[in-house]
Amino acid sequence: MSGMGSGGGFGLGGAGGRSVDCATLSFETHIHSPKQQYIGNISVAETLDVVLATMNGIQVVQIRKSDGTIVGGLVEKGPKIRECLEAGYTATVRSIQGAAIRIFVQSQGR
């Protein structure tokens, strides 16, 4: 079954014969560990960059403002989005409630 429910739907395992269609991969999630000092500088409908970075030797997916300021990270679907980052992804801010920032992640080509 397919779906967007919580749990291990996408998992961290190997390819398993399934390939990710990077052009259509999109999902709504929240920014993980948002930087408190930048929350006030983010607005609903703002477009943020989704980029791959290396921190302490580990690849992470970061959410950044256009000036390069790191707003937070992306954990949900991390392994899948890492496969697609070369295609270019953005995150549109959907809502801000305190430190909870909801975003919609999609390919720049959409």
Burial of 92 (0-12, 13-18, 19+ CB in 10 A): middle
pLDDT tens, position by position, 24-57: 899 999 999 999 998 889 999 999 999 999 989 9
How do residues 54-78 score in pLDDT, each as one tens digit? 989 998 999 999 999 999 999 988 7
Provide the percentage of residues in the chain whose pLDDT is more than 70.
82
**Predicted confidence (pLDDT) at residue 10 exceeds the cutoff of 50:** no
